């Protein structure tokens, strides 16, 4: 039996989006506050450099992401907050898992195929191996639960496969079977410009996403210009079928307002987007602006952020160092 422990991470590869907030960070805060779990949250800078990162920007983005976590409600008292590269056991277990994972497994990862596209010969080896390092990020804490957006489901299945193969190959019951936690109305927030693409910080179109640092006017403008269809909102969920853009805006509303989609539709059914969009914009600004102003306040004192992260790394290594040591023993090192 394993201690109930949560691990999850976000790449410091750009500003945070509403997708990251609703699909990940808001859930991290929930799992921290239910109190049943020890929670570890991570800025995964080693993952970020699988594609080129300007060093000064990477350093800035890492601090800004830490500020985003804290401003959203992750408390450095209740959770362990770390930067991945500051806890070397992640990369050390990552190497062992590179030797457990199979090329064929990695080649089936749809996120790799999407990111590499036709350019697979020219992407970094790290981009291909990234899900094995992600498995190590989780297993180096013996984490049992990982809150993530839907796009990470396949990587969590791979994590289970790698852990099971390690246990099987070495005849041990050392790594737990981890559970992905993919819940809520916004497990997959879509682009505001294209209902078939997920909202992402790496989308070249800034109008496609809401950034956590966008000001009120920008949020309102992006929502006003969001792609929709000409029909009124339905009062039942079936009425959103084949209307991905409408569905996305309703999902966002529900997640921001901590309601189910059914509850939202009961209130807004029959409204035109000319009415619904301003209400959504007002809700988004009300929820996000306290977070962005707190982020700005925290970013004014980067030394304090660095101090908190240094403390987090020490706490993390109390967990990771013994697990890595035992792993080495099992492997014969």
Residues that bind ligand ADP (CB under 6 A): 10-11, 13, 17, 19-20, 23-24, 148-149, 151-152, 186-189, 198-202
Establish whether 20 is an annotated binding residue.
Answer: yes
201 labelled binding-site residue: yes
115 counts as catalytic: yes
Q: Is 329 annotated as a binding residue?
A: no
The one catalytic residue among 57, 115, 227, 287: 115
Q: What DSSP element (H or E) covers 181?
A: strand 179-181
Q: Is 199 annotated as a binding residue?
A: yes
Q: Shortest approach of ligand ADP to residue 332 CB, angstroms? A: 35
Q: Which two tokens stand for residue 276?
A: 């619904």
Least spacing, CB of residue 32 vs ligand ADP, in Å? 15
The residue (of 187 and 320) whose beta carbon lies closer to ligand ADP is 187
Cβ closest to ligand ADP, residue 24 vs residue 46:
24
Which of the residues 26, 201, 222, 277 is marked catalytic?
A: 201
> How near is the Cβ of 92 to ligand ADP at its closest, in Å?
22
| Choice between 151 and 282, CB closer to ligand ADP | 151
- CA–CA separation, 327 vs 322, rounded Å? 9
C-alpha dist (Å) from residue 52 to 45, 215, 220 = 11, 28, 32
- Closest by CA to 60, choosing from 310, 299, 297, 288, is 299
137 labeled part of a ligand binding site: yes
Tell me if residue 201 is catalytic.
yes
134 among annotated binding-site residues: no
Q: Is 149 annotated as a binding residue?
A: yes
With b meaning 16 or more CB within 10 Å and e meaning fewer, what string describes 218-238? Answer: ebbebbeebbbeeebbbeeee
Instruction: Specify whether the CB–CB gap between 90 and 136 falls below 8 A.
Output: yes
CB closer to ligand ADP, 71 vs 96: 71
CB of 155 to ligand ADP, least distance (A): 9
197 is catalytic: no
Q: Pick the catalytic residue from 26, 57, 197, 198.
A: 198
Whole-angstrom CA distances from 79 to 5, 145, 318 are: 11, 14, 14
Give me the residue whose beta carbon is nearest to ligand ADP: 23
Cβ neighbours of residue 181 closer than 8 Å, sequence gap 6 or more: 6, 27, 31, 145, 146, 147, 148
The CB-of-74 to ligand ADP minimum distance in angstroms stands at 14
Cα 323 from Cα 79, distance rounded (Å): 19
Rg (CA), the chain: 20
| Rounded CA separation 252/283 (Å) | 10
DSSP 37: S
Q: Which is nearer to ligand ADP, 13 or 213 (CB)?
A: 13
Active-site residue set? 115, 198, 201
Q: Which residues are annotated as a binding site for L-tryptophan?
A: 137
Question: Which residues does the annotation place in the binding site for ATP?
Answer: 11-13, 19-20, 149-151, 189, 198-202
């Amino acid at each position: 039996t394993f201690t109930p422990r949560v691990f999850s991470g976000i790449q410091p590869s750009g500003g945070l989006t509403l997708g990251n907030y609703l699909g990940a960070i808001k859930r991290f805060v929930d799992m921290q506050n239910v109190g049943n779990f020890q929670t570890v949250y991570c800025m995964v800078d080693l993952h970020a450099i699988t594609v080129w990162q300007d060093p000064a920007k990477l350093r800035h983005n890492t601090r800004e992401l830490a500020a985003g976590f804290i401003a959203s409600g992750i408390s450095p008292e209740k959770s362990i907050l770390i930067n991945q590269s500051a806890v070397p056991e992640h990369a050390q277990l990552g190497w062992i898992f590179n030797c457990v994972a199979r090329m064929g497994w990695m080649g089936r990862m749809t996120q790799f195929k999407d990111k590499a596209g036709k350019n697979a010969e020219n992407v970094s080896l790290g981009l291909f191996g990234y899900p094995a390092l992600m498995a190590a990020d989780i297993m180096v804490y013996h984490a049992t639960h990982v809150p993530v957006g839907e796009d990470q489901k396949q990587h969590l299945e791979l994590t289970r496969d790698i852990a099971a193969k390690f246990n099987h190959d070495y005849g041990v019951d050392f790594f737990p079977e981890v559970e992905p936690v993919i819940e809520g109305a916004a497990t997959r927030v879509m682009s505001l410009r294209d209902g078939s693409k997920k909202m992402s910080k790496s989308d070249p179109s800034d109008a496609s996403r809401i950034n956590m640092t966008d000001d009120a006017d920008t949020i309102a403008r992006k929502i006003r210009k969001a792609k929709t269809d000409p029909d009124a909102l339905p009062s039942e969920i079936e009425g959103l079928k084949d209307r991905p853009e409408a569905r996305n805006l309703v999902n966002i509303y529900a997640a921001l307002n901590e309601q189910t989609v059914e509850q939202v539709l009961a209130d807004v059914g029959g409204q035109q987007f000319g009415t619904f969009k301003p209400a959504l914009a007002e809700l988004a600004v009300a929820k996000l602006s306290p977070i962005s102003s707190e982020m700005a306040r925290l970013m004014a004192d980067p030394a304090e952020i660095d101090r908190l992260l240094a403390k987090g790394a020490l706490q993390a290594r109390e967990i990771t160092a013994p697990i890595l040591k035992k792993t080495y023993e099992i492997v014969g090192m």
